[in-house]
Structure 1
Amino acid sequence: MTFEDLEPRPQGGEALRALSREDLDLYAVDELHERIAALEAEIARAKAAIEGKSSKRSAADALFNFR
């Protein structure tokens, strides 16, 4: 067991809240473009997770539909 195992997990959405509170005036234009690219990649990852969960749900619904 490591010390990391003993630390509490961050609450869901905390990273997003922290991002929304950051002062964007501190970033250069190139850094803002990099930030946007990283956020767009995260959006794509979230959409893929939604799609995967939706397809699993549809498969489960089809399997257990007794009509």
Structure 2
Amino acid sequence: MDIKTVTSTLRPLFNLSNEVTETNFSYQMLLATQILQTGKPVEQMTLAEIQQLIEQANDEYEGS
């Protein structure tokens, strides 16, 4: 694996930070609830798992 691949793989992690911190409290609570419902500590979740939960939260939040 080269440096470009590593940085490309990590880029979504940095984007997640912006996606969540620039949202309102209701959205953050929705996402936090979804994370807690997995029963898995957030620090043990994969980036793909967190991204999937964010997409679900986006869909649910936009639908309400």
TM-score normalised by structure 2 residue count: 0.38
Larger helix share, 1 or 2 = 2
Asked which structure has the greater CA Rg, the reply is: 1
Higher RCO (Cα < 8 Å, 6 or more apart): 2
